[in-house]
């Protein structure tokens, strides 16, 4: 015991431990420092009292209070995120602060995992530069009028939770060369959990994991039967989480209803009527196909121009001046874009094409560098054909063809995740998760993968020196854009833990909250239509009805007749009619050309108790003459 204590006090041992910690931990510390400014600047700002995020608070609050998802609260995504957030509410209190801190932890874990994974496919410098996009661009982004598209207050926790699970699945699949079938099984377990989030996440994760298992098998010369066994184990693991969820749901509802509830997200994604709404056509880029294609072409031309300039510098400029000239050109090019108003660099539109090109490149490299037939090593090991040596000199000493395989799997995952925004790729809106791996891939390719070809050929490459100032100005432009949307005009919330700042347009919602608190008794119910369950949450009043949102996607999925029948059966004590703009979906207004029958039923059974904002907002009380009235 004393010997061990003395050894622990050994100055040399302590110094070695400190050096080891510093050498491995400083990138994580730097990433944490980079997050401080955007986190403090955007904390509790920009939330919309009507759109999206109120559901992310109301649903777990009701589940923590004893309601059952799908049975008592209609929901169209997987059950994992609502019940996870309900757990945080039970443990630490049902309030906005609890959820934001939990989401900050998710962001931190995702960022650390990304950096660790990227070090397996690129240099540490490139991995750090790419991972810096998390705190500086994606984590706290508020680039529009609604701060629902970031990791702290996401419009759908299924995206942020699903991304973390998908990364864990992909990282586990990369270990099949060392751990064989066990790694494949673990990857399947994480993949199965993504099935309980959103389909776009699960599909991308499945594509990445499947590609990883197959590509690593090809790269190491594994027998086909072993690759098939690994895929089978991954598929088996995929079934575990959905089966557990199904069994748990059957404790509250019959098996057919539980199965229908757990697959709701997939059925909704398959509905052609929803995909044809103007909103979703614009999201994917098919609403104006010609414009989308033109912007993609311009994006490709811009990126090709940057690569061409770097190539010219490599060939024509002496090495002692090349990098300084590249830095100067990068700064001048970035400022030129800002001066001409390119706060949304169109370069993002070309991400699917560039990532698809990388998929083809790494697939080819995996294939041409595969071991010769008969050199397979079974579950692990890599034996290359002595007659056909590794053909990629850039990979010598860095893991060989297995590195190609991991890069291929990563690029396939990034490309698959872009599917929902394929012709309108961007880092804002849905892109805060869907375009995240692709954007990171672009940074890695520009700093490491593309220059490495020139590095092998000429021992120098200037593309990173040209790209890094452009990247810095690109991030600065987004910070400027975000600064325009940091509003603290109106404060909403009844407690310190729930309070947040919004813009001046939220004043009417604040009046609505005050009316609800003053007029609606705690044991009474109030439904906000067509959207605005945030007000129910802030006032801690139950909506009363199962269907808490009446926006076009929900009405098309659940059916207006079923929703109206539930509204009539539950007959909430109060109804708030909020002025939600439906133009993005192709409708005028609730009760005009949309949900007309529901509006007529409300007019027949409720009377106006208060109106404000030029009559655009109305608080309606159930008529005393109504047979359900008290």
Distance from chain centroid for Cα 341: 27
pLDDT category, 336, cuts 50, 70, 90? confident
β 526-529/500-502 pair status: unpaired
Q: Are 34 and 136 in contact (CB under 8 A)?
A: yes
pLDDT score of 525 more than 80: yes
Per mean pLDDT, which range of 43-57, 105-119, 184-198 is the poorest?
Answer: 43-57
Q: Are 99 and 57 in contact (CB under 8 A)?
A: yes
Structure tokens at 598: 């529901």
Per mean pLDDT, which range of 110-114, 141-145, 179-183, 469-473 is the poorest?
Answer: 141-145
pLDDT score of 344 more than 80: no
The per-residue pLDDT for range 140-193, each reduced to its tens digit, is 988 877 889 999 999 999 999 999 999 999 999 999 999 989 999 999 999 999
Residue in 408, 400, 405 with CA at minimum distance from that of residue 384: 400
How confident is the model at residue 386, as a pLDDT?
32
**How many angstroms separate the CA atoms of 15 and 19, rounded?**
6
pLDDT category, 19, cuts 50, 70, 90? low
Residue in 213, 142, 141 with CA at minimum distance from that of residue 176: 213
> pTM score, two decimals?
0.92
How confident is the model at residue 7, as a pLDDT?
53
Q: Are 323 and 454 in contact (CB under 8 A)?
A: no
What DSSP line would sit under 608-629, residue for residue? EEEEETTTTEEEEEE-TTSTT-
**How many angstroms separate the CA atoms of 189 and 14, rounded?**
39
How confident is the model at residue 393, as a pLDDT?
42
Q: Are 430 and 420 in contact (CB under 8 A)?
A: yes
Q: Which long-range contacts (CB under 8 A, 24 or more apart) does 592-600 make?
A: 594/530, 594/552, 594/555, 595/530, 595/550, 595/555, 595/560, 597/560, 597/564, 598/529, 598/550, 598/560, 598/563, 598/564, 598/567
How confident is the model at residue 397, as a pLDDT?
34
Q: Which long-range contacts (CB under 8 A, 24 or more apart) does 24-32 make?
A: 27/115, 27/124, 27/127, 27/128, 27/131, 28/112, 28/115, 30/128, 31/111, 31/112, 31/115, 31/128, 31/131, 31/132, 31/134, 31/135, 32/108
Helical pair 124-131 and 11-42, crossing angle rounded to 10 deg: 30
Structure tokens at 330: 């990068």
Q: Which residue has the higher pLDDT, 401 or 413?
A: 413
Q: What is the mean pLDDT of the chain?
A: 88
Per mean pLDDT, which range of 378-392, 414-428, 498-512 is the poorest?
Answer: 378-392
The per-residue pLDDT for range 612-624, each reduced to its tens digit, is 999 999 999 999 8
pLDDT category, 461, cuts 50, 70, 90? confident
Q: Which residue has the higher pLDDT, 457 or 496?
A: 496
Give just the sign of the alpha carbon dihedral 498, 504, 509, 514: positive
Residue in 107, 64, 103 with CA at minimum distance from that of residue 83: 64
pLDDT score of 451 more than 90: no
Helix, strand, or coil here: 84?
Answer: helix
User: C-alpha angle with apex 163: 93 to 298, nearest 5 degrees?
Assistant: 130
The per-residue pLDDT for range 360-372, each reduced to its tens digit, is 999 999 999 988 6
How confident is the model at residue 398, as a pLDDT?
37
How confident is the model at residue 389, as a pLDDT?
37
Structure tokens at 356: 């698809």
How confident is the model at residue 629, as a pLDDT?
47
Residue in 408, 82, 479 with CA at minimum distance from that of residue 217: 408
**How many angstroms separate the CA atoms of 196 and 280, rounded?**
22
pLDDT score of 460 more than 70: no
The per-residue pLDDT for range 250-271, each reduced to its tens digit, is 999 999 999 999 899 999 999 9
How confident is the model at residue 101, as a pLDDT?
97
- What are the backbone angles phi and psi of residue 500, rounded to the nearest 5°? -150, 160
Helical pair 289-316 and 450-458, crossing angle rounded to 10 deg: 20
pLDDT category, 458, cuts 50, 70, 90? low
Residue in 431, 427, 434 with CA at minimum distance from that of residue 471: 427
Alpha-carbon Rg for the chain, nearest whole angstrom, is: 27
């Amino acid at each position: 015991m004393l010997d061990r204590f003395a050894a622990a006090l050994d100055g040399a041992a302590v110094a070695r431990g400190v050096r080891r910690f510093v050498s491995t931990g400083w990138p994580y510390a730097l990433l944490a420092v980079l997050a401080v400014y955007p986190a403090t600047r955007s904390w509790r700002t920009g939330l919309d009292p009507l759109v999206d995020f109120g559901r992310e608070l109301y649903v777990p609050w009701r589940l923590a209070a004893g309601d059952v998802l799908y049975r008592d609260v209609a929901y169209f995504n997987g059950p994992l995120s609502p019940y996870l957030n309900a757990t945080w509410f039970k443990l630490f209190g049902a309030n906005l602060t609890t959820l934001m801190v939990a989401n900050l932890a998710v962001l931190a874990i995702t960022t650390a995992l990304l950096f660790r994974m990227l070090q397996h496919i690129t240099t540490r410098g490139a991995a750090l530069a790419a991972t810096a996009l998390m705190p500086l661009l994606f984590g706290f982004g508020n680039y529009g009028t609604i701060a629902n598209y970031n990791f702290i207050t996401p419009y759908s926790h299924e995206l942020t939770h699903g991304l973390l699970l998908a990364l864990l699945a992909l990282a586990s699949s990369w270990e099949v060369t060392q751990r064989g079938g066990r790694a494949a099984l673990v990857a399947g377990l994480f993949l199965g959990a993504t099935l309980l989030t959103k389909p776009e996440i699960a599909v991308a994760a499945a594509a990445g994991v499947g590609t990883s298992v197959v590509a690593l098998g090809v790269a190491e010369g594994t027998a086909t039967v072993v690759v098939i066994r690994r895929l089978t184990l991954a598929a088996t693991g995929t079934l575990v989480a959905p089966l557990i969820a199904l069994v748990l749901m059957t404790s509250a509802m019959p098996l057919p209803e539980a199965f229908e509830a757990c697959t709701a997200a997939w059925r909704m994604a398959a509905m052609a009527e929803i995909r044809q709404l103007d909103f979703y056509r614009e999201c994917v880029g098919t609403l104006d196909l010609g414009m989308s294609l033109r912007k993609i072409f311009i994006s490709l031309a811009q990126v090709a121009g940057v690569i061409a300039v770097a190539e010219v510098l490599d060939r024509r400029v002496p090495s002692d001046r090349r990098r300084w000239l590249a830095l100067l050109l990068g700064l001048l090019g970035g400022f030129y874009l800002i001066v001409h108003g390119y706060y949304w660099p169109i370069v993002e539109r070309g991400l699917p094409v560039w990532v698809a090109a990388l998929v083809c490149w790494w697939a080819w490299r995996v294939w041409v560098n595969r071991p010769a037939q008969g050199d397979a090593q079974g579950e692990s090991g890599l034996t290359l054909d002595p007659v056909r040596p590794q053909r990629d000199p850039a990979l010598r000493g860095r893991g060989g063809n297995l590195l190609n395989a991991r890069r291929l799997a990563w690029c396939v995952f990034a490309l698959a995740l872009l599917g929902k925004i394929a012709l309108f790729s961007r880092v804002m809106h849905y892109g805060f998760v869907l375009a995240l791996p692709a954007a990171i891939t672009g940074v890695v390719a520009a700093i490491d993968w593309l220059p490495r070809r020139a590095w092998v050929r000429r021992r120098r490459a200037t593309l990173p020196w040209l790209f890094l100032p452009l990247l810095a100005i690109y991030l600065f432009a987004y910070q400027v854009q975000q600064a325009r949307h940091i509003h603290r005009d109106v404060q909403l919330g009844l407690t310190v833990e729930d309070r947040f700042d919004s813009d001046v347009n939220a004043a009417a919602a604040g009046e609505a909250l005050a009316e609800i608190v003053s007029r609606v008794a705690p044991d009474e119910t109030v439904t906000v239509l067509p959207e605005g369950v945030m007000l129910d949450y802030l006032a801690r009043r139950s909506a009363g009805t199962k269907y808490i949102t009446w926006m076009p996607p929900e009405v098309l999925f659940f059916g207006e007749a079923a929703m109206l029948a539930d509204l009539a059966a539950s007959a909430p004590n109060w109804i708030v009619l909020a002025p939600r703009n439906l133009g993005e979906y192709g409708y005028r207004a609730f009760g005009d050309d949309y949900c007309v029958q529901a509006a007529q039923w409300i007019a027949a059974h409720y009377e106006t108790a208060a109106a404000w904002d030029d009559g655009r907002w109305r608080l309606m009380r159930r008529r005393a003459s109504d047979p359900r009235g008290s």
